[in-house]
Amino acid sequence: MIPPVDGRPQPPSPYLEHVIRSRPPWRRGEDLTECGKTVTGRAVITRDAFLAKVRKQGQQRSAMSTCMTCWHTSRNHPSWAEDPVASLLREAGRFRWHIPGRAGADLTFHDELRAIEALIAAHPDEWDELLAGIGETVRLDDRRRQKRRRHAE
């Protein structure tokens, strides 16, 4: 936070970019930054744009114009597209110290998991069919990666 001048709070720096946080694909609502702030009124870039910025400018130079929390979090946590399991583990980690029944607790992730459970219970055949189809798709992706590796060698 920029220190106040003459007792007045200063606006966020237009030169300091925040990185938009990856979220589970079913989640709606306003995007958050990697440091947990809403994107409204902030200079933000997508995760892909941030990674391109790091490749182009290097680690030190890109860190000078990026929120440090966003910078470190983006580098240390994969997106949903990169690794859905790790992405959900990060989300679940936010609730590691959750105390059931605590007033004001953010139960979004818990509620989402309960909703997924209810949808699967209501449509078990569709779930099994979809899961089998995704399993086949993943295997095809693995085969393509193996082919590319063989051709690269």
| Whether 70 contacts 35, CB under 8 Å | yes
Q: What is the pLDDT of residue 1?
A: 47
Establish if 23 belongs to a structural domain: yes
Establish if 87 belongs to a structural domain: yes
pLDDT digits (tens, 9 = 90+) for 71-124: 999 888 888 888 889 888 888 876 655 555 555 445 678 788 889 999 999 999
Of residues 108 and 51, which shows the higher confidence score?
51
pTM (whole model) above 0.85: no
Q: What is the pLDDT of residue 75?
A: 85
The answer on pLDDT for 2 being more than 70 is: no
Establish if 119 belongs to a structural domain: no
CA distances, 84 to each of 24, 102, 113 (Å):
8, 28, 14
The answer on pLDDT for 28 being more than 50 is: yes
Establish if 106 belongs to a structural domain: no
* C-alpha atoms less than 13 angstroms from C-alpha of 75 in its C-beta half-sphere: 14
Calpha distance 62→64 (Å, rounded): 5
Percentage of the chain modeled with pLDDT above 90: 33
Establish if 136 belongs to a structural domain: no
Domain residues for 79? 1-96
Establish if 138 belongs to a structural domain: no
Calpha distance 49→15 (Å, rounded): 15
**34-53 mean pLDDT:** 90
Establish if 117 belongs to a structural domain: no
Establish if 64 belongs to a structural domain: yes
Q: Domains in the chain: how many in total?
A: 1
